[in-house]
Amino acid sequence: MEAAIERILISPESLKTRVSALAGEIVDAFGEAPDGVTIVAILSGSIIFLADLIRELPMRMRIALVPVSSYPGRTTRSRGAKLESAALPDLAGRDVLLVDDILDTGGTLRLVQREVAAAGPRSVRTAVLLRKRDKASPDVSVDFVGFDIEDVFVVGYGLDFDGLHRNLPYVGVLRNETDSGS
Ligand code: XMP
């Protein structure tokens, strides 16, 4: 295990099993989407989750990748979400599945859900791999959750600290001392 990782929270095997099950829940929910689904994935933390999830979804889909940042550089404290550009595709009349890596304070999803809703979709559902169960704001609703986790800063399986650790095949807890708080 990498020195920066204090412990493994979710193993590669558990990730695989749960992502498959989540895909099943999503297929059931979108069964009646006549024109398939439009996936709006929030970059960059969702990349591995997205790649694994979509290969388990046997349905017609369009995929849009939307850059949003909230943890620039060497910090584990959110600076508030910013949608990097007007990167949303035409969502009018579409059945949308928003995909994000983690629901933490909820700032990111609140912002993106608002923007997506304003684009006039037929329906919007949200899937997150992880949710910090004691922290997530109740006004941000998600439909599909991979794992509820404790309030620790996690990396791996797409999630990073200062651009590092996205390639770890597990979700691990970052050692405290790596946070400069700057
Ligand atoms: P909010 O607080 O807006 O956070 O719900 C969502 C975004 O912030 C990032 N984030 C994390 N990234 N480990 C990470 O590597 C974490 O524990 C963590 N918590 C939040 C992430 O990009 C997410 O989309």
160 lines ligand 1 (CB under 6 A): yes
Rg over CA atoms, the chain? 16
From 28-37, 68-77, 84-93, 165-174, the region with the lowest mean pLDDT: 68-77
Average pLDDT on 2-15 reads: 96
Q: How many CB atoms lie within 10 A of CB 152?
A: 14
Q: Which residues contact 55 (CB under 8 A, 6 or more apart)?
A: none
Query: pLDDT tens, 44-99?
Result: 999 999 999 999 999 999 999 999 876 555 666 666 666 754 678 899 999 999 99
pTM: predicted TM-score of the whole model, two decimal places? 0.91
pLDDT averaged over every residue in the chain: 89
Interval 131-157: pLDDT, tens:
998 886 778 999 999 999 999 999 999
The catalytic residues are 104
Give yes or no for residue 71 CB within 6 A of ligand 1.
yes
What DSSP string runs through 3-68? Answer: TTEEEEEE-HHHHHHHHHHHHHHHHHHTTT-TT-EEEEEEETTTHHHHHHHHTT--S-EEEEEEEE
Say which amino acid occupies 104. Answer: D
Task: Give 34's pLDDT tier (boundaries 50, 70, 90).
Answer: confident
- Ligand 1 atom closest to residue 107's alpha carbon, by position in its atom list: 3
Mutation to probe ligand 1, out of 83, 101, 113 (largest number of atoms < 8 A from CB): 101
